[in-house]
Amino acid sequence: MRILILGGDGYLGWPTAMYFSKRGHTVAVVDNFTRRMMHLERGTDSLTPIQSLQSRVEAWHNVAGCNIEMFIGDIKDWYFISHLIRDFQPDTIVHYGEIPSAPYSMIDVHHAVQVHENNVNGTLNVLWAMHEFAPDAHLVKLGTMGEYGTPNVDIPEGYFTIEYKGRTDTLPFPKQPGSFYHLTKVHDSNNIMFACKVWGLRATDLNQGVVYGIETDESNLDDRLLTRFDYDESFGTALNRFCVQAVAGIPLTLFGRGQQTRGYLNIRDTLQCIELSALNPPTPGKMRVFNQWVERFSVMDLAKHVKKAAREAGIDVTIAHYRNPRVEAEEHYYNPDHTGLFDLGLKPHYLSDSLVESVIRRVVQYRDRIMEDSIVPRIYWERGGTDDYVEIVEVEDGA
Ligand code: NAD
Ligand code: USQ
């Protein structure tokens, strides 16, 4: 299969590129290093010392004997992306190439607009390029579970059948996203669904939960192949952050009451889900939706897992409740369906089996690179970016 990976220099994109090329597919990656630039802007960095994309591609060739083609350019640039899709003729386009951070999108108007322009316009370009130059390709697009928000009813995989005033229809499930970033994913989903309906394109919209972990089978072959691992407030996700905080001796940053519940998955399972989607495309004209997560945890559950795992590694951890910088439900119902990918054959990894070995061990390895100043939350949904409100409101006893 010819696979074009948009955002192939990213946390998930680079491991995906290695994973597919190891399995004999023809792989090309696209990136314009937006993520590296955003770290420069914020004064933060990946915990793992990641190589340049060029060096990784070379290292991968030396270590595994596999080739990955590289195209440096902006998905927002119509001529760049449309000519690439026309010339490469992908069977599958895996689209990770967006700005993935809720806090970053909430800094101020400029960041909200930047995230919208990047994500929504980039995906529109991809859809038009497919329509004009690769109408049979399959778009595997990374959306987010956060598109749905936290409604007080079960969440289906994309669509539900509803009866209203005596008539019945199958409709997209309502979306109640929690940040301007999450909103861009809703706009993308609407645009993709429309393009499938009108132009007969085929797409899989993957509503992915929060991903954790550093290692994959491929990246473990050589440290030059490691993917990025972020722990700052903009780009680090909760569990990755907690692991770094544990090793740095900083009280774990639980926002508010800590009962916010999300779906989580190991980075290795992301790779499987992308492969299963790519190998089983939907019929033309359809936007298929999968909810891509394995286990459900509250942030307090995560903190307890990290505390336990750190103790096994000889590290004592304190859990603290911070004033919540976000506007979100801190206690809520959460029961999203997630059978689609399991039905296709997903073999999940579980948090309790992998935390010490595949995350904490690596964090300890790179503990000297931890920038403690980038950990505490400073971006507030309500009041704008200032650090006046950083505050621990309670320390958890005996968790
Ligand atoms: P990432 O920032 O590490 O990767 C995205 C890559 O896309 C980066 O390398 C970036 O430079 C590139 N990019 C962004 N805009 C671009 C543009 N206009 N042109 C070219 N390249 C561009 O993020 P990630 O964590 O790997 O996430 C990948 C995707 O998965 C994102 O769409 C994200 O929203 C989604 N997602 C991630 C998670 C998670 O927990 N990491 C969970 C759910 C969904
Ligand atoms: N949280 C804490 N402490 C922290 C960081 C986060 O309590 O130090 C809480 C947040 O308040 C939130 C939950 O943990 O309730 C999840 O936050 P997160 O930062 O781990 O994840 P989120 O902002 O939702 O975004 C991440 C990825 C994003 C993806 C999303 C999937 O960055 O790209 O879309 O996970 S989901 O959460 O299902 O929407």
Task: Verify whether residue 253 is a known catalytic residue.
Answer: no
> Is 115 inside a domain boundary?
yes
Q: Is a pLDDT exceeding 70 seen at residue 388?
A: no
Kindly report, residue by residue over 208-251, the tens digit of the pLDDT: 999 999 999 999 999 999 999 999 999 999 999 999 999 999 99
Q: Is the CB of 272 under 6 A from ligand 2?
A: no
The pLDDT assigned to 399 comes to 58
Q: Is residue 28 assigned to a domain? A: yes
382 inside domain: no
% residues pLDDT > 90 (the chain)? 91
Q: Give the model's pLDDT for residue 376.
A: 85
The secondary structure of 315-344 as a DSSP string is ----EEEEPPSS-S-SS----B---HHHHH
| pLDDT for residue 315 | 93
Residue 188 CA: which ligand is closest?
A: 1
For ligand 2, say whether the CB of 288 is within 6 Å of any of its atoms. no
Q: Are 385 and 379 in contact (CB under 8 A)?
A: yes
Q: Note down the domain range covering 94.
A: 2-216+266-294
Q: What is the pLDDT of residues 4-35, one digit of tens each?
A: 999 999 999 999 999 999 999 999 999 999 99
Note whether residue 344 is domain-resident: no
The answer to the question of residue 69 being in a domain is yes
Residues 6+ apart with CB under 8 A from 370: 47, 231, 244, 247, 248
Statement: residue 68 has pLDDT above 70: yes
Supply 255's token pair. 């926002």
- Output the pLDDT for position 236: 95
pLDDT tens-place string over residues 319-348? 999 999 999 999 999 999 999 999 999 999
What CATH code is carried by the domain that includes residue 21? 3.40.50.720
DSSP calls for 88-138:
H--SEEEE--S---HHHHTS-HHHHHHHHIIIIIHHHHHHHHHHHH-TT-E
Q: What average pLDDT does this structure show over 65-87?
A: 98
pLDDT of amino acid 398: 61
Helix H segments across 23-100? 34-42, 53-64, 78-88
* 170 assigned to active site: no
Domain count, the chain: 1
Indicate whether residue 262 lines ligand 2 (CB < 6 A).
Answer: yes
The three-state secondary structure class of 74 is coil
**Best of 206, 259, 299, 318 to mutate for ligand 2, by most ligand atoms within 8 A of CB?**
299
Does a structural domain hold residue 238? no
Query: Is residue 343 a part of any domain in this protein?
Result: no
CA of 105 to the centre of ligand 2 (A): 13
Q: How many other β-carbons are positioned within 10 Å of the β-carbon of residue 59?
A: 16
- Give the per-residue pLDDT at 355: 87
Q: Is 255 near ligand 2, meaning CB less than 6 Å away?
A: yes
157 in a domain, yes or no? Answer: yes
